[in-house]
Amino acid sequence: MMKFLFFLIFNFISSSSLFVHGVTQARDGSVRVVQLLKEENGIRRYPDALPSLLKMMNEQTNARFDTDPLYINTLTDERLNENPILYINCDEQPNLEFSDEERAALRRYMELGGFVYLDAGIKASFLGSDLGHSYAAWEERPEVRELFAQVLPEKTFIPLPRDHDLFRIFFRGLPKNEDLKIQASQKRLPETVLNFVEREKWPQATYSFVGIKVKGRLACVASPICAMGWGRDEFGAWIPPISFRIRESAENFEQNLKLASFSGGTYEVTREDGLKDIIYSESGQRPLWVKEPNGSWRIFKYYSGEEISNYAHAFYSRLGMNVFLYALLH
């Protein structure tokens, strides 16, 4: 029913006078996404991620997106207000510092109906400058908080509930074998990994998102980096490979970890319930173990392999498509 409703709504939009939330669409009816790149030659770990995702949306939904994003290097670019969605990969920016004019332009864009997606707008402090990890913290990174304290000082980011429409606007639930094109003879996720994914990592195909409403409408969301799961090579294979991090416990784990020799740092990370996990990690490295608010200790274990990577890519791609489709329809 949801997909049929989406079909009707989008076909109406595509055949109408091309005006969505006060911003125009391309003449051919396709939607063009604006991507901010403050430095044209800056670090870009996933340069083909967004075009790849837009292509997937055209193939798997009735939406029609221009697969060539409109790149801008300043928020005062007049073309911004001609397009309904602004995508910013925060890890690809040298900083999130903007002039008074740019901050005013960003506020005006959201007030006029524009939607802003801050990918990597959530980043756990222990990750440092690392660009290759995603971690489910439940608050925006400090640079984002400082920016929006100036853009929308009367607003604060709040966590999106697990039942928010954004997580199920088109795709619902976690990927199935048919979504992954896995044959009966191929490897599945290990049962321990799948159980953790379903119960703790991505329950009901959701993730740690925070957002801000403007005029009663969700106008901006921030998430841990998702673009790493959108890329495909020229042959359609997923790139780059992705591994899973899960928490595991075992007999005597707690006592052993309490006594373990450790030369790194400890980092507090906000959980969904507002409490804090204490992460033990070398700065900019993989976290090693965690002390949870209830006093439990668990170790982080990493799993890799084609079946792991394919599952992660399918999840991040479905989630990314849901974000852009939600932005388009709201």
pLDDT at 10 over 60: no
From the list 202, 304, 290, 216, the residue with the least C-alpha distance to 253 is 290
Q: What's the pLDDT score for residue 265?
A: 85
CA–CA separation, 74 and 133 (whole Å): 27
One domain, residues 171 and 254? no
Structure tokens at 80: 């911004």
One domain, residues 95 and 231? yes
One domain, residues 228 and 94? yes
217 φ, ψ (degrees, to nearest 5): -115, 140
pLDDT at 76 over 70: yes
One domain, residues 297 and 310? no
pLDDT tens profile 253-274: 777 777 777 778 889 999 999 9
Domain harbouring 155, CATH code: 3.40.50.12140
pLDDT tens profile 111-146: 999 999 999 999 988 876 655 678 889 999 999 999
One domain, residues 143 and 52? yes
One domain, residues 20 and 164? yes
One domain, residues 165 and 312? yes
One domain, residues 324 and 287? no
Side-chain half-sphere CA neighbours of 309 within 13 A: 12
One domain, residues 211 and 269? no
pLDDT tens profile 184-213: 555 677 888 889 999 999 999 999 999 999
Q: What's the pLDDT score for residue 231?
A: 94
Domain that holds residue 256: 244-303
One domain, residues 105 and 170? yes
3-state secondary structure of 11: helix
One domain, residues 298 and 322? no
Q: Give the pLDDT band (50/70/90) at residue 24.
A: very low
Strand order in the sheet with 70-72: 70-72, 33-36, 85-89, 115-119, 217-223, 210-214, 158-159
pLDDT at 182 over 60: no
Decide: 71 and 80 in contact? Cβ < 8 Å: no
277 vs 133: which has the higher pLDDT: 277
Q: What is the mean pLDDT of residues 47-76?
A: 96
29: which DSSP letter? S
117: which DSSP letter? E
Domains: count for the chain = 2
CA–CA separation, 37 and 325 (whole Å): 22
One domain, residues 320 and 192? yes
Say which range, 53-67, 85-99, 161-175, 271-285, has the weakest mean pLDDT: 271-285
